Amino acid sequence: MNYRTTSVRRFVIVMSILLLVTLFLSACGGIIETDLTLYSGDRFDATSRVTVPAASLALVGGAAALDAQFNELEQQALVEGARFSWRKENSKNPDEVVYRISTSGTGYDNLSAAYSIQVQKVQHEGKDALSVSASPSVDMYGTQNTLRLHVGKILQTNNQRSGNNTIVWTGTEMLQAIVTPASSTNWLTILLVVLAVAAVAAIALVVSRRRPASQVATVTTAAPIATRGGFCPHCGEPTQPGAKFCMSCGQAIPPRQG
């Protein structure tokens, strides 16, 4: 199977799912807050937190029907190898239902299908960059839609910023920005691993240098133990060390002096 064809099909599945989710939840009104990250290599990650009035879910068949639809979409994504997940979250307001929907994929040429934004590769001051744009949207259902676009660096924009790499777009104004994609390498994880290894090495070095001299193994020479016996003063036969009587003549052997 051609890898490119498979990747394109997965991308289409993800976009179709996101479009269906958007249509379902837009019909219910409420609030949609999305964090969309553009990575190098045409990769993207998106997480949406959707708050809808419980009463409005009747427009799509009720909460149970919507949950079943989400489960079906999740299974479809699993079969196709696409990344899509969802879950319900607790809400402080009993009259609201909160969903968290996450997806990721490769290829952001057609992100407009789900997020109404266009992403194009451009040159900015002689360097590769991305042009991100979107027109103001009109929602007849009264949905409040906020998109937080996370990138590597913001090179140019007139939209609201949050820090050095996040643009906030509410959909009521024109979105226009020149950005660089975020790095797909998780440098924070790599840094933490390097620091952990360095810390272990430093501790081992300190412990080895502080080891007491008494713990250093030394070689000692034991005093020689006399193993040779003597001779019986009575018969002249050799005797065993420490013997009190001669084994040959039976006479008592006087203690050795010195």
DSSP string, 151-163: -SEEEEESSEESS
* Residue-level pLDDT at 222: 47
Lowest-confidence segment of 90-94, 124-128, 143-147, 216-220 by average pLDDT = 216-220
User: Which one has a higher pLDDT value, 113 or 218?
Assistant: 113
Helix (H) or strand (E) holding 38: strand 31-38
Partner residues linked to 166 by β-bridges: 150
pLDDT at residue 41 is higher than 70:
yes
pLDDT above 90 coverage of the chain, percent = 21
Pairing of strands 31-38, 144-150: parallel
pLDDT, averaged across the chain: 77
pLDDT tens-digit map of 153-164:
999 999 999 988
Q: What kind and span of H or E run contains 121? A: strand 118-124
Selected residue with higher pLDDT from 37 and 53: 37
**Distance separating alpha carbons of residues 85 and 16, to the nearest angstrom:** 14
Q: What is the chain's length?
A: 258
Report how far apart, in Å, the C-alpha atoms of 249 and of each of 228, 230, 238, 240, 253 are.
Answer: 20, 14, 11, 14, 10
245 CA to centre of own chain: 85
Q: How confident is residue 1, by pLDDT bands cut at 50, 70 and 90?
A: very low
Provide the H-helix boundaries in 27-156: 63-80, 112-115
Per mean pLDDT, which range of 115-124, 139-148, 153-162 is the poorest? 139-148
Tokens of 62: 């009720």
CB 97 within 8 A of CB 91: yes
Q: How confident is the model at residue 6 (pLDDT cuts 50, 70, 90)?
A: low
Arithmetic mean of pLDDT, 63-79: 82
Predicted confidence (pLDDT) at residue 67 exceeds the cutoff of 60: yes
Output the six-digit token pair for 106: 């490769």
Q: Is the pLDDT of residue 239 over 70?
A: yes
What is this structure's pTM?
0.64
Q: Pick the closest to residue 152 from 119, 127, 130, 125 (CA basis).
A: 130
Give the residue from 204, 184, 200, 183 showing the smallest Cα distance to 192. 200
d(CA 7, CA 13): 10
> What are the boundaries of each domain within the chain?
3-184, 229-253
What percentage of the chain exceeds 70 in pLDDT? 72
